[in-house]
Amino acid sequence: QTVVTQEPSFSVSPGETVTLTCGLSSGSVSTNYYPSWYQQTPGQAPRTLIYNTNTRSSGVPDRFSGSILGNKAALTITGAQADDECDYYCVLYMGSGVYVFGTGTKVTVL
Amino acid sequence: EVQLLESGGGLVQPGGSLRLSCASSGFTFRSSAMSWVRQAPGKGLEWVSVVSGSGGSTYYADSVRGRFTVSRDNSKNTLYLQMNSLRAEDTAVYYCAKDALRQYYYMEVWGKGTTVTVSS
C-alpha cells in the first residue's frame, strides 16, 4: 500500500515563504511520478495549481512554484497571502492508470 | 469555458446502489480522459477511478475495484460512476475531473461535486 506523505500543517506569516513537501512511504519522488498540486478551501472543489512537477495551471499566480527537492516533490509559496490559507494536496501518478493523493497540508497564514 | 456538473448523489442504504453522472461542456469530451475523486467528511481527497477518452481503458483504486464501474457516453458528453455494494465508508463528496491521463497525468478541471451518504 503506497502512502504519499505531506506535512499535516504549516503556519506562515504574511509575506513569508513556505515550502510544502510530498514524499513516498518507500522510495523517492521523481519527475517520473508527474507530481501535481491542488488547493482546496473548505466546502469548495479543489483547484489545480501545478502539474508535471513545475508547470503552473492557467491563472495561477507565479508566487506558486513546484520542484523536486531531494527525494520529494515540493510546492513553494513565495510571499504568502491571507487567501492562501487553505488545504494543499499533492498527487503522484503511480503508473498503470493509478493516482495516489497525498495526505494533505493545512496552511495557516497569520 | 470547461464546465463539469455532477449529479445523482443522495442517501442510500448499505449494500445499495447509486449512479453518479457528470455532464461536461466546453471541450472535446471524447478526446479527454475523465476521473472521479472523492472526499469523505473531514478527510482528504481520494482518487477513485479514471476512464480513457474512448472508454476502452478504465482504472480503479483498490478500495472500489469490483464494486464501482466507470463509463462514459461520448454522444452525450457525460461521464458515469455506477456504485454497487455501497458501504458506510463510501460516504463522501464525489468530484469528476477532466484528466490529462497519458499527457501530464493530472486533474485539469474539477466539478463542484455531489454528495453520497450511505446510511441505514
Question: Contact B107/A89, CB-based, under 8 Å?
Answer: no
The pLDDT value recorded for residue B102 is 80
- The total of other beta-carbon atoms located within 10 Å of residue A26's CB is 7
**A11 min Cα distance to partner chain B (Å):** 19
Question: Contact B45/A99, CB-based, under 8 Å?
Answer: no
Read off the pLDDT of residues B37-53 as tens digits, 9 standing for 90 and up: 999 999 999 999 999 99
Read off the pLDDT of residues A1-36 as tens digits, 9 standing for 90 and up: 889 999 999 999 999 999 999 999 989 999 999 999
Question: A51 to chain B: which residues are within 8 Å by CB?
Answer: 100, 104-106, 108
Read off the pLDDT of residues B54-104 as tens digits, 9 standing for 90 and up: 999 999 999 999 999 999 999 999 999 999 999 999 999 999 999 988 889
Give the CA count within 13 Å in the CB-facing half-sphere of B17. Answer: 7
Q: Which of A38, A99, A101, A105 to mutate to test the interface with B (most CBs of B within 10 A)?
A: A99
Which residue of chain A comes nearest to B6, CA vs CA?
Answer: A45
How many beta-carbon pairs below 8 A join chains A and B? 68
Read off the pLDDT of residues A41-73 as tens digits, 9 standing for 90 and up: 999 999 999 999 999 999 999 999 999 999 999
Question: Contact B107/A91, CB-based, under 8 Å?
Answer: yes
The pLDDT value recorded for residue A13 is 96
Read off the pLDDT of residues B1-44 as tens digits, 9 standing for 90 and up: 999 999 999 999 999 999 999 999 999 999 999 999 999 999 99
CB nearest to B59's CB, from A34, A52, A96: A96
Cell of B94: 464525489
Contacts of residues B113-116 at CB distance under 8 Å and 24 or more positions apart, as own/partner, are B113/A45, B113/B6, B113/B39, B114/B6, B114/B7, B114/B8, B114/B9, B114/B20, B115/B9, B115/B10, B116/B9, B116/B10, B116/B12, B116/B18, B116/B20, B116/B38, B116/B83, B116/B86, B116/B90, B116/B91, B116/B92
Cα gap A62→A88, rounded to integer Å: 16
> Looking at residue B65, what DSSP letter applies?
B
Ranges assigned E (strand) in chain A:
4-6, 9-12, 18-24, 36-40, 47-51, 55-56, 64-69, 72-77, 87-95, 98-101, 105-109
Question: B102 to chain A: which residues are within 8 Å by CB?
Answer: none
Does A5 reach chain B within 8 Å, measured CB to CB? Answer: no
